[in-house]
Structure 1
Amino acid sequence: MHSDILQPMVVLIAWTLVMLGWTLATRLPAMKAAGVDMGKLVGTKASDADRSLPPQVQWKAHNHNHLMEQPTLFYAVCAVLALSGTGSGVNAWIAWAYVGLRIAHSLVQATSNRVRARFLFFMVSSLMLVALTLHAALAVF
């Protein structure tokens, strides 16, 4: 069974991997420049890197972490919609909007990190997630 809503799911997964690559491509050289010896690191946490690496480098890592948070709900609700046979039409369009907004959020956070713009993209994408959740509830109850 094919459901159109699977496509935006895969695109957001791919985007998350792009952000992981961008994180590594900027963070590893910054760690080297800061004299961080990964062989000597024991039990560190993400906030430790915030103290030793430039903010512009950390913005990519912070965004990758954000892509591990709310989008997990997106994946779950899209799976419900796909399995219930309601993952096409308007629900697929809403899912594409969510993905586009999350990618825009990533680009803002990873480059200029302007909070107002990030917040706008986050809030509108959250509304898309609410709509998908309501549609999933209607499909299964």
Structure 2
Amino acid sequence: MANVNEMTIFMPVLAMMLLTMLVWATLLYRRLSNAMSNGIAADRLNTPEKVKELLPEKAMAPAYNLANLFELPVLFYVLAVYLHLSNLVDAVFVYGAWGFFAFRLLHSVVHCSYNKVMHRFAAYLLSSALLWFMLLRAVFLSV
């Protein structure tokens, strides 16, 4: 089945992992800089409710996005491993994986910057559609 290097499926996986870490770094930077510039002691940020209460939405958006990166992308990671182990990796799956990453990247950029809901939702919907396509294709090719 594979007419591409089986390992190429892991490049978009690594890109997703890097994206997750970049969002985490953005979260850390925004929270720390906001707390420090507003004189908020760390002890006051001891619960999620207090964090939401004391920090502005701009400092909270990366936290919400980071949570999103541990939802559907987890299925993407497992699917990539399955495709590799099943020798199903081909160009269609690799392009689909890169498309999934690209739309998740766009989703994160929108979410962590100007946060227009319909733009974010479009990126989310397109990434989800690609993941559905990849999953259903994997199921079809596996039976």
TM-score by length of 1: 0.90
Please list, as runs of the form range in 1=range in 2, the aligned pairs for 1:1-141 lying within 5 A after superposition: 2-39=6-43, 42=46, 44-45=47-48, 47-141=49-143
The CA deviation at 1:65 is 1.3
Contact preservation (8 Å) 2:100, 2:127: yes
Q: Distance in 2 between matches of 1:51 and 1:39?
A: 14
Deviations 1:46-103 (A, max 9, x none): x432221011111112111111111101111111111111123100000000000000
Q: Distance in 1 between matches of 2:87 and 2:6?
A: 9
Contact preservation (8 Å) 1:34, 1:52: no
Q: Distance in 2 between matches of 1:134 and 1:32?
A: 48
Contact preservation (8 Å) 1:94, 1:128: yes
Gap change, CA 1:29 and 1:128, over 3 Å in 2? same
The CA deviation at 1:39 is 4.2
Gap change, CA 1:55 and 1:41, over 3 Å in 2? closer
Identity %: 27
Residue ranges of structure 1 left out of the alignment (5+ in a row):
none
Q: Distance in 1 between matches of 2:64 and 2:37?
A: 20
Give the CA RMSD over aligned residues.
Answer: 1.7
Gap change, CA 1:90 and 1:2, over 3 Å in 2? closer
Gap change, CA 1:41 and 1:27, over 3 Å in 2? closer
Residue ranges of structure 2 left out of the alignment (5+ in a row):
none
Q: Distance in 2 between matches of 1:123 and 1:62?
A: 17
Contact preservation (8 Å) 1:30, 1:57: yes
**What amino acid does structure 2 have at the position aligned with 1:64?**
L
Q: Distance in 2 between matches of 1:9 and 1:87?
A: 13
- Report SS of the residue matched to 1:4: helix
Deviations 1:24-56 (A, max 9, x none): 1111111223433224654x12x4322210111
Q: Distance in 1 between matches of 2:19 and 2:134?
A: 20
